[in-house]
Amino acid sequence: MLQGKDLVTIEDISLEEIMTVLETAQEFEKNGYPMDALKGNVIGSLFFEPSTRTRLSFETAVKRMGGEVSGFAGTEQTSLKKGESLEDTVRIVDGYVDAIIMRHPDAGAVAIAADVAKTPVINAGDGSADHPTQTLMDLFAIQKTQGTLEGLTIALVGDLKYGRVPHSLAKALSHFPTTKQIWVAPPSLRMPDDVRSFVKEKGIEVEEIEGIDSVIGVADILAMTRVQEERFEDAAEYEKVKDAYILTLDMLSGAKENMKIIHPLPRRYEIPVEVDASPHAYYFEEAQGGVPIRAALLAHILGKLK
């Protein structure tokens, strides 16, 4: 199903394919990785934008399965500094590797790469557009903690305008019609109209509110995001909203017993360190799921699993 496919947006992967990746990741996590699955394969890692978890978990996934990684983190030592175009860079790397993992600060850049490359291209985050592999991690965390992806109430909180993570997650959750989405954001950071239209056209129940307090007692999952300073052109606008939603231990006193907090990380102000000790905190466990999820995705895209 997934063999040879690009993954540029979460829309590129069907519900059946999503569930296959989740099932394979669970198998890897339980029984270990197929150590020779990627033996002889080289994966291109093109990170035009800083990353810790996404880059390292992808590289770890490749190495766990016996593959190699070739690429860069930052562009200072590449020919991009000499004026080489994105398309030419991708064409060159495409001739060296078996698949390309790419992060870029500009929305749409990964789609351009996918058009140019002959090998599969996987989006590791492009600007404020999409982050499909983080969404697979989100779904993995939700399924593990709740035992299902159906019949839940999931609150997406914070920067819903510029946040590529909530964009992809809201679309993915539309596969599960009995799961309610609550979008919590100030007016200036509301979900973009294209995402809103996509989800509502699927007939999904969505509630949009400004206050976080009212969702804590009803949510099964609190999907937090940071307000991303790097996405703002106006520093004054960022200062107005950067502290919009700060989750404290006191606020969690009314949470459902099963409620878990997920976050793509890094965090800043929105989740103070003291929340880490709460039984509701799940963001570090979620981050660990990046290796089995990305290993499963790579193995399927490269045709290493039946």
The answer to whether residues 198 and 221 touch, using CB atoms and an 8 Å cutoff, is no
- Among candidate residues 53, 190, 202, 231, the one labeled active-site is 53
The sign of the CA dihedral 1, 294, 159, 149 is positive
- Among candidate residues 30, 81, 82, 306, the one labeled active-site is 82
Residue 137, both tokens: 């991690």
Residue 248, both tokens: 């404290």
- Among candidate residues 9, 20, 54, 119, the one labeled active-site is 54
Secondary structure string (H, E, C) spanning the chain: CCCCCCECCHHHCCHHHHHHHHHHHHHHHHHCCCCCCCCCCEEEEEECCCCCHHHHHHHHHHHHCCCEEEEEECCCCCHHHHCCCHHHHHHHHHCCCCEEEEEECCCCHHHHHHHHCCCCEEEEEECCCECHHHHHHHHHHHHHHHCCCCCCEEEEECCCCCCHHHHHHHHHHCCCCCCEEEEECCHHHCCCHHHHHHHHHCCCCEEEECCCHHHHCCCCEEEECCCCHHHCCCHHHHHHHCCCCCCCCHHHHHCCCCCEEECCCCCCCCCCHHHHHCCCECHHHHHHCHHHHHHHHHHHHCCCCC
User: Can 54 be counted among the known catalytic residues?
Assistant: yes
- Among candidate residues 55, 64, 103, 161, the one labeled active-site is 103
- Among candidate residues 64, 131, 226, 280, the one labeled active-site is 131
Q: How far is CA 195 from CA 140, 229, 245, in A?
A: 22, 21, 22
User: Can 103 be counted among the known catalytic residues?
Assistant: yes
What's the CA gap between 96 and 91, in Å, rounded? Answer: 9
Q: Any idea which residues carry the catalytic annotation?
A: 53-54, 82, 103, 131
